[in-house]
Amino acid sequence: MKQTKILVLCTGNSARSQLAEGYLQYFGGDQVTVYSAGVAPHGVNPLAIQVMAEDGIDISHHTSNHADEYVHIPFDYVITVCDNAREQCPYFPSAGELIHHSFPDPGHTATADRPEEDKLTSFRRVRDLIKAYCQEFIETRLPASESTLG
């Protein structure tokens, strides 16, 4: 069986694309290979790791990569999850379909002057939006897959 290759792009490859990579891989199982990258990567946000762990998915091994590292891979889908990434997205000559779905930046709403609970609330809200999108994406693009996460 051919695996579907998916690349998720955002600006920093620190939160939204990391969350989406985790959920797309989870919901797609062995039918997909998922990568994430940024146009200006700056490390995986610890709060992204924490909120995914709360939902039973370990992304602590993820790395923050630049989109240019993946231009040679023949992706079936390239998904941009923020407007900046869509505008700066490198050209992927072998990408089957380019898709854009913008999500709020959890790091932008969770500023340093807010209590820790507010930061976590922001990350959890964005996590839940991305989770729902990824589950629907896999169910509609790969109908044979079955979800096991509530």
Name the nearest CA neighbour of 116 among 17, 46, 44, 18: 46
* 97-100: strand order across its sheet: 32-38, 4-10, 77-80, 97-100
The average pLDDT across 107-121 equals: 63
Q: Determine the average pLDDT of the residues in 46-55.
A: 97
Q: Is 13 left (phi over 0), alpha (psi -120 to 50) or beta?
A: left
pLDDT per residue as tens digits for the range 67-97: 889 988 999 999 999 876 556 666 666 668 9
CATH superfamily of the 4-141 domain: Response regulator (3.40.50.2300)
Report the percent of the chain where pLDDT is more than 90: 59
Residue 150 confidence (pLDDT): 46
State residue 147's pLDDT score. Answer: 47
Q: What pLDDT does 25 receive?
A: 98
27-47 per-position pLDDT tens digit: 999 999 999 999 889 899 999
* Helix 46-54 / helix 116-141 crossing angle, nearest 10 deg: 60
Domain boundaries, the chain: 4-141
Catalytic residue IDs: 10, 82, 89
Per-chain mean pLDDT for the chain:
86
